[in-house]
Amino acid sequence: MDKTELKKVLKPLVKQCVKEALLEEGVLSRVVSEVVAGFGPILTESTTQQVEASPPRSEQSTLLEQQRAELEEEKARMLKERKRKLLDASGFGSEIFEGVEPLRKGGAPSEGPAQGALAGVDPNDAGVDITGIMALGASRWGKLV
């Protein structure tokens, strides 16, 4: 019998024996209880201090919600202040285009006559009223599409 065959036979047997010794005879439970007993005073003191220092979960969530709401209010206030400062610095009020008239003619003045479909139309012209166009083809729109 060579080394690999012996290993194949003995390994499961040793594994089973160690498992039985640790679990069935109580060796593992005694080791764990001794370790816990050694750390007992340290663990109980630290856990009681942590429990006393931290508020209950509902109070924590309420406190977090209050802090979040305060931060959102502060953020909105700072954004509003920043916008106000920007408008004050640029010289514009709340209405940027107050008192501005639309151009009658667009483009560079040196280029001659204006071009485009609405070149000669006044910008204040209301145009054609198309509000009744849907009523004209009410039943035929499905066929037209």
The residue count for the chain: 145
pTM of the model: 0.28
Span 82-103, pLDDT tens digits: 988 887 777 666 567 777 887 7
Q: Domain total for the chain?
A: 2
Q: Name the residue range of residue 33's domain.
A: 1-54
Residue 77 within any structural domain of the chain = yes
Span 99-133, pLDDT tens digits: 788 776 665 655 566 677 777 777 778 888 887 77
What is the average pLDDT value for the chain, to the nearest integer? 76
If asked whether residues 25 and 10 sit together in one domain, one would say yes
Residue 75 within any structural domain of the chain = yes
For residue 75, the tally of other CB atoms under 10 A from its CB is: 10
If asked whether residues 40 and 64 sit together in one domain, one would say no
Residue 8 within any structural domain of the chain = yes
In percent, the amount of the chain with pLDDT more than 90 equals 12
Residue 63 within any structural domain of the chain = yes
Residue 67 within any structural domain of the chain = yes
Q: Which residue has the tokens 């640029």?
A: 90
What pLDDT shows up at residue 79? Answer: 94
How far is CA 77 from its chain centroid? 21
- Top mean pLDDT of 28-42, 69-83, 93-107 is at 69-83
Q: Which SS3 state, helix, strand or coil, does residue 123 take? A: coil
- Cα distance between residue 67 and residue 55, in whole Å: 15
If asked whether residues 19 and 50 sit together in one domain, one would say yes
